[in-house]
Amino acid sequence: MEADSRFAEFVAERGDALLRYGYVLAGNPHDAADLVQEALLKLRAAWPRVRLKENPESYARTTMARLHVAAWRLRRREQPAWDLPERAHHDALPSGDEQAMWRALAGLPRRQRAVLVLRYYEQLSDAEIAGVLGISRETVRSQASRALDKLRAAVPEGNGSGRGPRSGERAAARTGRVR
C-alpha cells in the first residue's frame, strides 16, 4: 500500500508538469492527455523498480517522447484532419508572431517537433535526445536543422531580433566552433 500512496503522491505533484510537457510535445491537449495517461500506466507497472533507482519524472518524460514518436511511425502516411469548432477558443498570446510560431511548430513532422521540444524545452544534448528517441546523433542534428529551417521560413521576421533559437549554432558550425 505504501508504494501505491507514493505513486499517487508523485502523480499529484508532477501530473500537471507532465501534461504541459505532453502539450508541447504533441501540440494539442487531447494527445497530450493520452501521452500522460499511457506513460503513467507504464510508470505504474515499473514503479517498484523506478522509484528506487531512477528519477520517476525522467522515466515518464522519456516514455512520453518514445510514445509520441512511436505514434508518428505508426501513422506516418496518415494526415489527420481536425474539424475546427464553429467558434475557436485560443488562449491569449501576447503577439501574432507567437501565434505564428505555435502554428509552425504544430505543423512540423512529429520527429522534428520532438527533437526541438527535447532540445529547447527539456534542454537535452544531442546524445541524450538520440537515446530518448532511439535515433542517431546525426539524425537528431539533421531533424533539428530541418525543423529550424521550416520554422524560420514559416514565422515572419517581426519578432525583434529576426533570429530563431540557436541561430548562432550554424555560424559556429561553419567556422568550426561547434559546441
Write out pLDDT tens, residues 84-93: 556 555 555 4
- Identify the three-state secondary structure at position 104: helix
- Interatomic CA distance for residues 138 and 150, integer angstroms: 18
Length reported for the chain: 179
Do residues 166 and 108 lie in contact, with contact meaning Cβ atoms separated by under 8 Å? Answer: no
Residue 88 phi/psi, 5-degree rounding, is -75, 145
State the cell numbers at 111. 520527429
pLDDT tens profile 121-160 = 888 999 999 998 999 999 999 999 999 999 888 876 654 4
Do residues 93 and 100 lie in contact, with contact meaning Cβ atoms separated by under 8 Å? Answer: no
Those residues with Cβ within 8 angstroms of residue 28's Cβ, 6 or more apart along the chain or in another chain: 82, 106
This prediction has a pTM of 0.51
